[in-house]
Chains A and B, each alone.
Chain A
Amino acid sequence: MTPAHPEGVTLDDYVDDALTATERAAVEAHLAECADCRELVADLRGVLAAVSTLEPVQPPRTSWTRIEQTIRRGSAERRTPRWPWLAAAAALILATFTGLKLAGVWQQRPASGLTALAPATDAQAVEAELLQAEQHYQNAISGLERIASAEKGSLDPQTASTLEKNLAVVDQAIGESRAALKSQPGSEPAQQSLLENFKTKIALLQDTVALINEMRKGNDASASRLVTGLKQKGT
């Protein structure tokens, strides 16, 4: 009488050499008489053999780049506290130009050095570089601000009012950060907050301009679709 087929997991254990001597003998006795189970065992062994040929898999090149960027940002923070905000200022300025180009406002870059931001060595130099970054920022946003204020009539009054109020909130935050930086030029939280607030203001202006543009076209439906699909925040 042929014994009943062993359970699948038992055959698995058999293939994995995880059975006691008695259990193994019982399975082998069954295999001697059952072609189906023999085939299954062979297949299971085949799977294991194939798996044993697996090798490490090289990740895409971009993986390391992203890790490196995050690490270098972090190390820089610990070594030279003033460096990251300068790098961030440069990134901010770049983002602004891109944003303005998208809004069709500003076609050319200003002449003065974007790339020439060297790490500062003393408080005065830091302040001088901060001033330079601020000037770039001012030039960049005044174009956006002109559009936003002139064309706000295209938006319904409540939305226009919300956007104005929030721009004022951001401006107040910028004022606070500036004052803080004046009193403590070396303060990392103050530096970072100023730059974050600049970024927020630019993003808010960009979004306002984009919304205005859509409303001006007279098609409110596409404005809401714009809100759905818009993902301008580059960072």
Chain B
Amino acid sequence: MRIRLSRLLIALLAVGVAAPASAQASIGEARRAAGQAYRRSMSEARELYQGRRGPEQADTFSRKVRVGRDGRVSISNISGTITVAVASGDEVSIDAVKRSRGDRGQLSRVNIIVEEHPGRVDVRTEYGRPPFPDRLFRDDYVSVDYTVVVPAGVSLDVSSVSGHIKVDGVRGSIRFGSVSGNITSSNTPKVEYLRTVSGEVALANISQDGSLSISSVSGNIDLTDVRARALDLNTVSGEIRLRDAAVERLTSKGLAGNFEYTGTLARNGRYEVNSHSGSVRFAIADSPGFELNAGSFSGAVRSDFRMTVGGDGTRDIRPRRGPRSESLRASFGDGSALLNVRTFSGSISILRK
């Protein structure tokens, strides 16, 4: 197994681009670099090994726990799917399937822990420490797929590292977390927090009187039928798409992904959207009025609504030809809602739906 030094250097460079040019390689750094190269080559070995896996082994697990109609449920997994559905009653029923492509010994090293408390149940997957060298291959070798049925009124805390999460019908407050697992939910009005690195996020039927905060690094964020008093979105390269949206207070920070809001503006709402190169697009049904503060270094600004700029008569806002650095302050109607949009190169469009 050759150490791929070039790949290693590229990796280091990519991270260190903005570091001071005077950084010298020290012995310590060389040692760290070597360690990283070793781990890389081990993970390559694992990838090869996995191609030669054996037949699937499986183990099932089943438990019912009483929590009450508005109890709290938490589920924490590493690899494998989590599916949550609702049923009447006050019981939580947990069904899980452990799967492994190695020997049965692997299965027994993974434990499903269910902790019961009055009004609360915590479910999690635990990996016992395997012996070396298996330790390096431990991760997605054994997966656990959960199917959990809960009373509709419970509040839920679900997290997974790489497995996908799917929730439908839970009406209590919900918090989601994943590293790379996708997160999908529907008929879940009270989602309040979601955080992922690269998982794809698709939430539907949100009706949040409080606030909903969603953060991803590269995962796209797709919300459909979302009503919220406050919505906070944060991503580096994910796309943000809000459809059938009625949000009163919105803050969105993106960098490379596009932002799109289709829906209505609340009469006295406030919308702050920041982007670097991603475009920002509002497609709104008629509105009693809004004030637009749009600023961009090189992105074009346009509006389907005839706007009043600085107290003069109304005019069209269309992209201007030639070099432009836009900084626009205009209003439409009674100017009651506020749109603050800032981009670097992304275009800014306020369209009529």
- Taking the complex as a whole, does A directly touch B, i.e. does some CB pair lie under 8 Å apart? yes
CA distance A196 to B178 in the complex (A): 25
Decide if B14 touches A168 in the complex (CB within 8 Å): yes
Q: What is the distance, in angstroms, from B77's C-beta to the closest C-beta of chain A?
A: 7
Decide if B17 touches A171 in the complex (CB within 8 Å): yes
Decide if A189 touches B297 in the complex (CB within 8 Å): yes
Decide if B327 touches A188 in the complex (CB within 8 Å): yes
Of B35, B162, B193, B274, which is within 8 A of A156 by CB? B162
Decide if B11 touches A152 in the complex (CB within 8 Å): yes
Of A148, A149, A180, A228, which is within 8 A of B159 by CB? A228
Q: Tell me if B218 is interfacial: C-beta within 8 Å of chain A.
A: yes
Q: Tell me if A41 is interfacial: C-beta within 8 Å of chain B.
A: no
Residue among B12, B17, B236 with most chain A CB within 10 A: B236
Q: What is the distance, in angstroms, from A85's C-beta to the closest C-beta of chain B?
A: 12
Residues in A with CB closer than 8 Å to B218 are: 162, 165-166
CA distance A173 to B237 in the complex (A): 11
CA distance A193 to B255 in the complex (A): 10
Q: Tell me if A159 is interfacial: C-beta within 8 Å of chain B.
A: yes
Q: Tell me if B224 is interfacial: C-beta within 8 Å of chain A.
A: no
Q: What is the distance, in angstroms, from A147's C-beta to the closest C-beta of chain B?
A: 10
Name the interface residues of A57-112: CB closer than 8 Å to any CB of B: none
Residues in B with CB closer than 8 Å to A20 are: none
Residues in B with CB closer than 8 Å to A19 are: none
Decide if B23 touches A166 in the complex (CB within 8 Å): no
Residues in B with CB closer than 8 Å to A220 are: 78, 127, 139, 161
CA distance A163 to B160 in the complex (A): 18
Give the contact stretch, choosing among B61-69, B83-91, B96-104, B195-203: B195-203
Name the interface residues of B160-199: CB closer than 8 Å to any CB of A: 160-162, 175-180, 193, 195-198
Q: What is the distance, in angstroms, from A73's C-beta to the closest C-beta of chain B?
A: 12
Decide if B18 touches A187 in the complex (CB within 8 Å): no
Closest chain A residue to B124, Cβ basis: A221
Residue among A142, A165, A180, A193 with most chain B CB within 10 A: A193
Q: Tell me if B334 is interfacial: C-beta within 8 Å of chain A.
A: no
Decide if A171 touches B297 in the complex (CB within 8 Å): no
Decide if B16 touches A149 in the complex (CB within 8 Å): yes
Decide if A223 touches B344 in the complex (CB within 8 Å): no
Name the interface residues of A168-214: CB closer than 8 Å to any CB of B: 168-171, 173-174, 176-177, 180, 184, 187-190, 192-193, 196-197, 200-201, 204, 207, 211
Q: Tell me if A4 is interfacial: C-beta within 8 Å of chain B.
A: no
Residue among A192, A211, A223, A228 with most chain B CB within 10 A: A228
Of A152, A159, A229, which is within 8 A of B179 by CB? A159
Closest chain B residue to A152, Cβ basis: B36
CA distance A149 to B274 in the complex (A): 28
Q: Tell me if B126 is interfacial: C-beta within 8 Å of chain A.
A: yes
Residues in B with CB closer than 8 Å to A197 are: 255, 276
**Interface bin, chain A:** 35 or more
Decide if A228 touches B177 in the complex (CB within 8 Å): yes
CA distance A190 to B276 in the complex (A): 10
Closest chain A residue to B213, Cβ basis: A231
Residues in B with CB closer than 8 Å to A146 are: 29
Q: What is the distance, in angstroms, from A104's C-beta to the closest C-beta of chain B?
A: 17
Residue among B193, B195, B277, B295 with most chain A CB within 10 A: B195
Residues in B with CB closer than 8 Å to A225 are: 76, 159, 177
Decide if B126 touches A173 in the complex (CB within 8 Å): no
Q: Tell me if A45 is interfacial: C-beta within 8 Å of chain B.
A: no
Residues in A with CB closer than 8 Å to B23 are: 142
Q: What is the distance, in angstroms, from B38's C-beta to the closest C-beta of chain A?
A: 8
The answer to whether A189 and B179 touch (CB under 8 A), given A173-B277, A220-B78, is no
Q: Tell me if B284 is interfacial: C-beta within 8 Å of chain A.
A: no
Residues in A with CB closer than 8 Å to B78 are: 220-221, 224
Residue among A168, A173, A174 with most chain B CB within 10 A: A173
Closest chain B residue to A230, Cβ basis: B195
Closest chain B residue to A177, Cβ basis: B344
Residues in A with CB closer than 8 Å to B237 are: 165-166, 169
Name the interface residues of A88-139: CB closer than 8 Å to any CB of B: 138
Name the interface residues of B37-52: CB closer than 8 Å to any CB of A: 39-40, 43
Q: Tell me if B72 is interfacial: C-beta within 8 Å of chain A.
A: no
CA distance A165 to B213 in the complex (A): 24
Closest 3 CB pairs of A and B: A228-B177, A153-B39, A227-B177
Ordered by A's residue number, 14 sampled pairs between the chains whose C-beta atoms are within 8 Å are A141-B18, A145-B16, A150-B36, A153-B40, A166-B217, A166-B237, A184-B325, A189-B296, A189-B344, A193-B276, A200-B255, A224-B76, A228-B175, A233-B215
A146-B29, A228-B158 provided; 16 other pairs, C-beta below 8 A? A138-B18, A142-B19, A148-B15, A149-B36, A153-B40, A156-B162, A169-B237, A170-B236, A190-B325, A190-B344, A211-B179, A221-B77, A221-B161, A223-B179, A227-B159, A231-B193
